[in-house]
Structure 1
Amino acid sequence: MTPPLESTPPLESITAAVIGVDDFAPHLDFYCGELGYAVEAEGVVPAADADRLWGEGAGDVEVRLLAAAGAATGRIHLLKVTDPVAPAQHPHTLDVGLAGINLYTRDIAASHERLRAAGHPWISPPQSFDVPVGELTVQVTEGYCLGPGGVGVVFVQPAGPRPTAAWLEDPGRQHTELTSVVCHVPEFDAELAFWDALGMSAGYDVTFSAPGLETMADLPSGTQVRLAFVAGRDGGTTRIEMVRADRTRVDRRSTQRPARALGHTAWSARTGDLDDALARATGAGGRVVCPPFAAETPLHGAARLAMVETPNGLSVELWQPR
Structure 2
Amino acid sequence: MKYLLSYSPEVREALEQGRAVVALESTIISHGMPYPENLAMARDVERIVREEGAVPATIALIDGRCKVGLSDAELERLATSPEAVKVSLRDMPIVLARKQLGATTVASTATIARAAGIDVFVTGGIGGVHRGAPGRAEQVWDVSADLTVLGRTEITVVCAGAKSVLDIGATLEVLETLGVTVLGYQTDRFPGFYTRDAGFGVDARVDTPEEAAAIIRARRRTNIPGGVLVVNPIPEADALDPAELERHIEEALSAMAAEGITGKAVTPYLLARMKEVTGGRALEANLALVKHNARVGAQIAVALSRQS
TM-score, reference length from structure 1: 0.28
Between structures 1 and 2, the one with greater helix share: 2
Give TM-score scaled by structure 2 length: 0.28
Higher RCO (C-alpha 8 Å, min separation 6): 1
